[in-house]
Amino acid sequence: MRIATWNVNSIVARLPRVLAWLESAKPDVVCLQELKCTTDAFPPEVAGLGYEVAAYGLGRWNGVAILSRAGLEDVRRGLIDEPAYENETEPRAIGATCGGVRVWSVYVPNGREPGHSHYEYKLRWLEALHTTVTAESTADRPFAVLGDFNIAPADDDVWDISLFTESTHVTEPERKALEALRGAGLRDIVPRALKYDRPYTYWDYRQLAFPNNHGMRIDLVYGNGDFAAAVGDAYVDREARKGKSPSDHAPVVVDLTP
């Protein structure tokens, strides 16, 4: 089974690229983030490629989905005890069981800057993710949380850590939230680097960040023991970041062996 995660930065704007990638990469299950469309407005062309779709969006700067050609059961929108931001529960997490594998597609809040109310919201949201993982990953089945975590797990996951000392994505509380997920039995499935030393997944559109590989690894796959034991390969598809009007993220692909 091939499982992927991709922050597409607007499914409508990126639809031709997404459809082409689905046909070429042939993933069985795809977790998408930053849809920027409502649930009902998710493009029907994706289903035309043979995917069942579970989407969750309000049409603003968030939205998540799971696409599957391996079955789509027990769909859950939202986390256990998920916090709201400015009195609104944002569509940032969706879970489903696909071919016996339980997956969650998550779009962790950015946090904006340490001390901001959105940063505090991010930490509360990560606590709700931990609660959900604890409740669901105890079953005897492969389980994984995939998506844009907006956290770089280690200093090496940022092209120049000195530029981020006063920024979100690398603060101790955020990284402790990832440690808590590992404490709940999940493992960081680190993709192999295809061209450079570090398998970055995000590059800013500005200042030639992508051709200079000034990136970050913030699109993560966290799986339980059953999931990790089945991983045969994992890589970042940098080709999907190239060309005209790409997302600023590249897909992370994980191949599971029977």
Q: Per DSSP, what are the bridge partners of residue 97? A: 73, 102
The catalytically annotated residue of 119, 202, 222, 249 is 249
- 110 belongs to an annotated ligand binding site: no
Closest CA to 79 of 64, 97, 95: 95
- Verify whether residue 249 is a known catalytic residue: yes
- Verify whether residue 118 is a known catalytic residue: no
- 148 belongs to an annotated ligand binding site: yes
- 249 belongs to an annotated ligand binding site: yes
Helix (H) or strand (E) holding 177: helix 172-183
The catalytically annotated residue of 28, 51, 56, 107 is 107
State the angle between helix axes of 117-136 and 172-183 in degrees (0 to 180), rounded to the nearest 10: 10
Q: Where are the beta strands (DSSP E) in 69-203?
A: 73-77, 93-98, 101-107, 143-148, 187-188, 202-203
- Verify whether residue 107 is a known catalytic residue: yes
- 226 belongs to an annotated ligand binding site: no
The catalytically annotated residue of 28, 148, 226, 237 is 148
Show binding-site residues. Answer: 7, 34, 148, 150, 248-249
Show binding-site residues for Mg(2+). Answer: 7, 34, 148, 150, 248-249
Would you name the residues annotated as active-site residues? Answer: 107, 148, 249
